[in-house]
Structure 1
Amino acid sequence: MQHQSLYRRFRPQRFAEVVGQPHLVRALRNAVREDRVGHAYLLSGPRGTGKTSTARILAKALNCEALTGDGEPCGICDSCTAVAAGTSMDLIELDAASNNSVNHIRDMTEKAALVSSGRRKVYLLDEVHMLSAAASNALLKTLEEPPSHVVFILATTDPNKVLPTIRSRTQQYELSLVGADEMAPHVRAIAEAAGAPVEDAVVDYVTERGAGSVRDALSALDTVLAAGGIPDDRADVNALVQALARADLAATLIAVAAATAAGVDARDLAERTARRLRDMFLVGAGVEPAELPQADITSARELSDAMGRRKNVRALEATGSALAQMPQSADRRLTLETALVGLLADEALGAGAPEAAPPASAPPTAGPAAARAAMAATTAP
């Protein structure tokens, strides 16, 4: 039998199973129970926080044949099982990243006018910010005069790229990263449900790797269970960060070389390093990220003290620069090495005179914009 990933096998089927989004669950369950469901919703938030899962649960509830008193779908009627199996004719899912033309949206809106077999027809548009301008305008026209039996659920990781006129015609809910205090019990429960109970060290590792994303955490748990233990994938980042803290150029390049020789992609190394540097910066500033286990907070504090605030910021800028340039780079490792060599050269020279600002169209290569790029890369899809 083909293995099914944990995040698909244990996808939430009821509102009560959605982790870490109480405001959203409460609002949607009340709307269903009191028959006050809107014609359009915009669910935004980082990847793996439950946007599409929640949308599917709402689709279940709207056509459930035996809705419970608290607004939960029964999960066993024909309509609920069809949604769970992905065969429902009343839930139409469209990936806006690959179906982003005006013709795709026009075809969808024409079909939306047709009567559904259930009480409501639900359209789920994932990554709606990827729609073309013409497609967005076509969607806007439908949202202005929606069919009474249709509910549109728009999901996005970047709500600021969605037309303001579309946002204004939806009920908007922002999903947040899940804190370690909720993620850890969830990871433990999933492992037990999968018949593979795990130790505290595994729970802490998986929680840290998830970084607030339930899907990423369960993917990490899958990896641990397949490997039979915690893989040693923190050593490369620790070695690199410690070398940067010492401003040791040779050790920095050796750390990058060792990681790539072990099969680690340079972008993955840069993303994990940026995440570590971000955690160090926040902890050093007196902020303890909710998604981090306590052991990682302690480790981040020690590294932050060793590196210092100024060097921490500049290292975050350097990794942000590398990550911003990698999509256009033919050699990701060289891009990362160049950024880190530049960082340590500036440190050795006392961070000399500032260079001229790059053109407005160029990706950020230094300064606060690069730091923001590095932080964003730790949560972007």
Structure 2
Amino acid sequence: MQHQSLYRRFRPQRFAEVVGQPHLVRALRNAVREDRVGHAYLLSGPRGTGKTSTARILAKALNCEALTDDGEPCGACDSCTAVAAGTSMDLIELDAASNNSVNHIRDMTEKAALVSSGRRKVYLLDEVHMLSAAASNALLKTLEEPPSHVVFILATTDPNKVLPTIRSRTQQYELSLVGADEMAPHVRAIAEAAGAPVEDAVVDYVTERGAGSVRDALSALDTVLAAGGIPDDRADVNALVQALARADLAATLIAVAEATAAGVDARDLAERTARRLRDMFLVGASVEPAELPQADIVSARELSDVMGRRRNVRALEALGSALAQMPQSADRRLTLETSLVGLLADEALGAGAPEAAPPASAPARGGTDGAAPPVGGPAAARAAMAATKAPPSLDAPR
């Protein structure tokens, strides 16, 4: 029998099973129970947070033949089982990333006018921000005068790219990354339901790898179960971060060389290192990321104390600069190494030259990390911080 991924096997089938989105669950459940469902919804948020799963549950509830008193689909009637199996004629899913032309949208709107077998016909448009301008305008016209029996659910990871006129005609809900306090119990429950109970160390590792994305966390759990234990895929980042914290140029280059020799892509290494540096920066500023397990918070605090805030920020700037250059680079490893060498060379120059005394009217600067100019500047630091919000994972449907 072919193995089915955990995120597909344990996809939420009821509103109560959606993790970490209480505001959305409460609103949709009340709308179903009170028969106040809108004609269009826009669900936005990071990947793997439950946008399409929630849309499918809503489609179930709208046509359920035995809806519960609290607005939950029964999960057992013909309509519910058809949605769960992907064979329902009342739920039409369209990937806007690959079906983004005006003809695709016109075809959809023409079919939407046809009467459905159930009470409501639901159209789910995933990654709706990928629609072409002409397709977006065609969709807008339909949203202005929607058929009474149709509900449109638009899902996107980038709502700012959706036409404002489309956004204004939808009920908008933003899904957020799931915190470690909710993710860890969920991971443990899924492992037990899969017949493979795991230790606390595995739960912490999977929670950290998920970085707030339920799907990414379950993909990481799949990897751990297949490998028979926690893979040693954090050693490369640990070695690089520790070398940067000590401003050790030789150790930094050795860490990059060993990671790439082991088959690690330089961009992946840079993104994961930036994510660790971001955690260190936040923890050093007395902000504990909700998606970070307690053990990782402790280690991030220790490394932050060694590295210092100034060097931490400059390292983020260097990685941000490298990540920005990599799409046009023929050698990603060289790009990463060049940025890190520039960072640590400036550190050495700053440490060797006396720091100019500040003007009498300005407060003296604290810290022991030198006074070299930042590498890449604030824009590069912002790029590195942004890269950490969408950690790499296996491509998968939502």
Partner of 1:22: 22
| Offset, 1:126 | 0.8
| Distance of aligned partners of 1:360 and 1:115 in 2 relative to their CA distance in 1, 3 Å threshold | farther
Deviates more, 1:46-55 or 1:260-269: 260-269
Contact 1:346 1:352 in 2 (8 A): no
| Structure 1 vs Structure 2 CA RMSD | 4.7
- CA displacement, residues 270-297 of structure 1 (integer Å, 9 cap, x when unaligned): 1111110110111111100111111100
Q: Deviations over 1:110-141 (max 9, x none)?
A: 11111111111111111111111111111111
| Shift of residue 247, structure 1, vs aligned partner | 1.4
Shift of residue 326, structure 1, vs aligned partner:
2.2
Structure 1 residue runs of 5 or longer lacking an equivalent are: none
When normalised by structure 1's length, the TM-score is: 0.94
- Kept after mapping to 2: 8 A contact 1:322/1:365: no
Offset of residue 348 of structure 1? 2.5
1: CA distance between counterparts of 2:294 and 2:153? 37
1:280-323 CA-partner distances (Å, limit 9, x unpaired): 11111110011111110011111111111111111111212222
Unaligned runs of 5+ in 2: 362-371, 389-395
Q: Determine if contact 1:364/1:370 at 8 Å carries over to the other structure.
A: no
What is the alpha-carbon distance in structure 1 between the residues aligned to residue 253 and residue 145 of structure 2? 59
CA 1:325/1:275 → structure 2, altered by over 3 Å: closer, same or farther?
same
1:162, 1:360 → 2: CA distance?
Answer: 51
Of 9-18 and 251-260, the range deviating more from structure 2: 251-260
Q: CA deviation at 1:351?
A: 10
Q: Cα distance 1:30–1:355, how it changes in 2: closer, same or farther (>3 A)?
A: farther
Checking the alignment, whether the CA contact within 8 Å between 2:94 and 2:124 is kept in structure 1 is yes
Between the aligned partners of 2:91 and 2:357, the Cα distance in structure 1 is 49
Contact 2:346 2:373 in 1 (8 A): no
Q: 1: CA distance between counterparts of 2:219 and 2:358?
A: 38
Change (3 A) 1:353 1:370: farther
Partners in 1 of 2:152 and 2:373 — Cα distance? 35
- Could you say which structure has the larger radius of gyration? 2
Change (3 A) 1:12 1:107: same
Change (3 A) 1:256 1:171: same
Contact persistence 1:324–1:364 (CA under 8 A): no
Q: CA deviation at 1:324?
A: 2.2
Distance (whole Å) between structure 2 residues aligned to residue 238 and residue 146 of structure 1: 54
1:16, distance to aligned residue in structure 2 (A): 0.3
Instruction: Mark the CA change 1:34 to 1:129 in structure 2 (over 3 Å): closer, same or farther.
Output: same
Q: Using a 3 Å threshold, how does the CA distance of structure 1 residues 360 and 104 change in structure 2: closer, same or farther?
A: farther
Kindly state the Cα deviation for residue 264 of structure 1 after the two structures are TM-superposed: 1.4
Offset at residue 356 of structure 1 (A)? 23
* 2:280–2:300 CA contact under 8 A, matched in 1: yes
Displacement of 1:375 in angstroms is 2.1
355-364 or 301-310, larger mean C-alpha shift: 355-364
- Identity among equivalent positions (%) equals 97
Q: Is the 8 A contact 1:246 1:307 kept in 2?
A: yes
Compute the displacement of 1:4 (Å). Answer: 0.7
Counterpart Cα distance in 2 of 1:360 and 1:226: 63
Tell whether the 8 Å contact from 2:342 to 2:375 is kept in structure 1 after alignment: no
SS in 2 for 1:264: coil
1:37 aligns with 2:12: no
Other structure's SS at 1:122 match: strand
d(CA) in 1 for partners of 2:265, 2:61: 42
| Contact persistence 2:314–2:375 (CA under 8 A) | no
- Give 3-state SS (helix, strand or coil) of 2:352's partner: coil
Alpha-carbon shift at residue 365 of structure 1 (Å)? 8.5
Separation in 2 of the partners of 1:93 and 1:354? 64
- Given that 1:317 and 1:368 are in contact with CA atoms closer than 8 Å, whether structure 2 keeps it comes out as yes
Aligned equivalent of 1:69:
69
Within a 5 Å distance, the mapping from 1:149-298 to structure 2 comes to: 149-298=149-298
> Compared with structure 1, are the counterparts of its residues 346 and 52 closer, same or farther at alpha carbon in structure 2 (3 Å cutoff)?
same
Q: CA-to-partner distance for each residue in 1:69-111, whole Å, 9 max, x for gaps?
A: 1100111111111111111111111111111111111111111
- Equivalent-residue separation in structure 1 for 2:357 and 2:323 (angstroms): 18
Question: CA 1:364 to 1:130, structure 2 compared with 1: closer, same or farther past 3 Å?
Answer: farther
1:345 positional shift: 2.3
Partner Cα separation in structure 1 for residue 208 and residue 256 of structure 2: 22
Spell out structure 1 runs of 4+ moving beyond 4 A: 351-365
CA contact (8 A) 1:66 1:73 kept: yes
Distance 2:33 2:165 in 1: 29
Distance (whole Å) between structure 2 residues aligned to residue 279 and residue 323 of structure 1: 18
Sort the Cα spacing of 1:305 and 1:351 in 2 relative to 1 into closer, same or farther, 3 A. Answer: same
1:364 matched to 2:378: no
Choose 331-340 or 244-253, whichever is displaced more.
331-340
CA contact 1:324–1:365 (8 Å) conserved in 2: no
Q: How far, CA to CA, are the matches of 1:121 and 1:360 in structure 2?
A: 72
Tell me, in whole angstroms, the C-alpha distance in 2 between the residues paired with 1:94 and 1:360: 64
- The 8 Å contact of residues 325 and 363 in structure 1, kept in 2 or not, is answered as no
Q: State whether residues 317 and 374 of structure 2, in contact with CA within 8 Å, keep that contact through their aligned partners in structure 1.
A: no
| 8 Å CA contact retained: 1:89, 1:117 | yes
> Which TM-score applies when normalising by structure 2?
0.90
Contact kept in structure 2, 1:324 and 1:363, CA below 8 Å: no
Quote the offset at 1:357 in angstroms: 27
How far residue 359 of structure 1 moved from its aligned partner, in angstroms, is 33
Map Cα deviations across residues 128-184 of structure 1 (whole Å, 9 max, x no partner).
111111111111111111111111111111111111111111111111110111000
Give the match's secondary structure for 1:351: helix
Relative to structure 1, the CA distance from residue 224 to residue 363 in structure 2 (aligned partners, 3 Å threshold; closer, same or farther) is: farther
Deviates more, 1:99-108 or 1:188-197: 99-108
Q: CA deviation at 1:372?
A: 2.2
- Contact 1:96–1:128, Cα closer than 8 Å, also in 2: yes
Superimposed CA distance per residue, residues 210-237 of structure 1 (whole angstroms, 9 cap, x where no aligned partner): 1111001001100100010011111110
Give, in angstroms, the shift of residue 368 of structure 1. Answer: 2.5
Change (3 A) 1:50 1:377: same
